[in-house]
């Protein structure tokens, strides 16, 4: 069986998605299966990614939540899949990992529902969608949070290689918390007026020359 791990982050090989793909691949190896290829959509481009998809038996697409949906490069890739001969995707085993900087996984649930419907329309065997909140900066975290996440993704890889499905316990653990608890919500309300919650994002906005446009609403009526 040919397996493909597709990194859909615009950051490519320096992304959190790349870490999650690597840990999934380690789980496959721990289960005695060959390490699947990890392909960066940002580097390879849509055309090559579609070619690799055509020849793979099983694909896991890993990407970050962007504005409550998927990055543009992932949307372009999935649109290209819709243009394939129906015989190509029919029966192909496809799963997804959606992660986000939001602490709570409920933010990604509408996209997970869309991915399930999209899979049905394209004729995939839908392996499910793994949701992971609080992933921003994961690639830089040397602590226990990174270690736990890595272990759970390895468990997903082992399970997929051995049983053909995602480990339900690892999937449930990664999705917690689904929503913020009362104490955390109170803390956010207290900190929000101070600007502390936006410091990291403001640094990135300034770095890319977009800080002064942070309140733009290009699609507002």
Could you state, in order of their start, the residue ranges of all structural domains in the chain?
Answer: 3-174, 182-213
Summary mean pLDDT of the chain: 93
3-state secondary structure the chain: CCEEEEECCCCHHHCHHHHHHHHHHHHHHHCCCCCCEEEEHHHHHHHHHHHHHHHCCEEEEEEECECCECCHHHHHHHHHHHCCCCCCCCCCEEEEEEECCCCCHHHHHHHHHHHHHHHHHHCCEEEEEEEECCCCCHHHCCCHHHHHHHHHHHHHHHHHHHCCCCCHHHHHHHCCCCCCCHHHHHHHHHHHHHCHHHHHHHHHHHHCCCHHHCCCCCCCC
Backbone φ/ψ region at 164: left (φ over 0), alpha (ψ -120 to 50), beta: left
Q: Hey, which CATH number is domain 3-174, 1.10.1060.10, 3.40.50.360, 3.20.20.140, 3.40.50.720?
A: 3.40.50.360
Site of tokens 């040919």 = 2
Q: Is 123 exposed, middle or buried (0-12, 13-18, 19+ CB in 10 A)?
A: middle
| β pairing state of 3-7 and 37-40 | parallel
pLDDT digits (tens, 9 = 90+) for 91-114: 899 999 999 999 999 999 999 999
Q: In this model, does residue 182 exceed pLDDT 90?
A: no
pLDDT digits (tens, 9 = 90+) for 139-163: 877 665 688 999 999 999 999 999 9
Q: CA-CA distance, 174 to 74, in Å (whole number)? A: 22
4-13, 139-148, 174-183: segment of lowest average pLDDT: 139-148
Q: CA-CA distance, 96 to 151, in Å (whole number)? A: 18
Length of the chain, please? Answer: 221
Supply φ then ψ for residue 52, to 5 degrees: -65, -35
Both tokens of 65, joined, read 């939540």
What was the pLDDT predicted at 221?
59
What was the pLDDT predicted at 142?
64
For residue 83, the number of C-alpha atoms closer than 13 Å in the C-beta half-sphere is: 10
């Amino acid at each position: 069986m040919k397996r493909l791990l597709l990194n859909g982050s615009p950051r490519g090989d320096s992304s959190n998605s790349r870490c999650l793909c690597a840990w999934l691949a380690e789980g496959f190896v721990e289960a005695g299966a060959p390490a699947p290829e990890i392909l960066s959509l940002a580097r390879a481009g849509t055309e090559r990614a579609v070619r690799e998809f055509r020849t793979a038996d099983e694909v896991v697409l890993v990407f970050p939540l962007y504005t409550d949906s998927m990055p543009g490069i992932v949307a372009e890739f999935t649109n290209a899949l819709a243009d394939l001969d129906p015989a190509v995707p029919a029966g192909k085993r496809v799963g997804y990992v959606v992660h986000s900087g939001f602490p709570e996984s409920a933010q990604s649930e509408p996209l997970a529902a869309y991915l399930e419907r999209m899979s049905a329309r394209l004729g995939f065997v839908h392996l499910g969608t793994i949701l992971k909140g609080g992933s921003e900066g994961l690639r830089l975290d040397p602590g226990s949070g990174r270690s736990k996440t890595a272990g759970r993704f390895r468990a997903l890889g082992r399970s997929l290689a051995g049983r053909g499905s995602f480990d339900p316990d690892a999937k449930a653990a990664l999705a917690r918390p689904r929503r913020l608890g009362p104490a955390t919500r109170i803390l956010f309300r207290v900190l929000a007026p101070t600007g502390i919650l936006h410091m990291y994002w403001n640094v990135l906005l300034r770095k890319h020359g977009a800080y002064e446009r942070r309140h733009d609403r290009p699609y507002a009526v």
